[in-house]
Amino acid sequence: MYYRSNNTVINQPIFWSFNGDDLKETITYVMNGLFGKIENSFFGKQGINENVVGYNKKKYDELEKVYSMAYNNINSLTKHYIVANATLDDISKLEYNWNDNGAQAFSVKLIERCRQIVSQLVAEPFVCPTACGSIQFEYEKENGEYIEFEIYEDRIEVYSESLINGEEEFVLYGITANDKMKQMVVDFYG
């Protein structure tokens, strides 16, 4: 018999981290359910003693379901980045001349590429469309350090300003471009 450290991790290796909003939602959900169940237990017709959690199998099973949901939800939490994904939704609806200056609409392929990238990033980017046909992801820190990625279908153009290296500009190509971008965001906060 063979074992893995964590099947969830293996199936979804990029989903190890938790997002604050998801966590808040999950906890609220669990606690609402939990308190509801406990309240029902204590104020049920059969009285307190027979219905205390852990002594009433039916109630306990119900509680266990709630816990299980919490566990599953927490373990499958992904970085949804609601704002970034909503912005991508908005960008996908932009039509030709969206900037009143002849800018093109954005292709489905580019939008999908951006969604794929967003789901793998360690921090939520500020997302905006550009008139030259790319979608821009930006990060900025309080100390003034800044990094932006202009994502095209076939490449990612990077511009950064750091306290150590100053201004840098280069282009990422190929199948490893997304990974390199992902690593650069890790480094930005590293």
Contact positions vs other proteins (CB under 8 A): 2-6, 9-10, 13-14, 16-18, 20, 23, 27, 31, 53-54, 60, 63-64, 67-68, 70-71, 74, 113, 116, 122-123, 175-180, 182-183, 186-187, 189-190
Pick the closer one to other proteins by CB: 14 or 131.
14
Question: Do 72 and 113 meet the contact criterion of CB atoms below 8 Å apart?
Answer: no
From the CB of 92, what's the least distance to other proteins, in Å? 17
What are the structure tokens assigned to 23, written together?
A: 């966590």
Residue 81: how many other CB atoms lie within 10 Å: 20
From the CB of 101, what's the least distance to other proteins, in Å? 31
Residue 118: closest CA among 74, 88, 160: 88
From the CB of 10, what's the least distance to other proteins, in Å? 6
Residue 33: closest CA among 63, 61, 71, 76: 63
Question: Do 145 and 159 meet the contact criterion of CB atoms below 8 Å apart?
Answer: no
From the CB of 87, what's the least distance to other proteins, in Å? 20
Pick the closer one to other proteins by CB: 27 or 103.
27
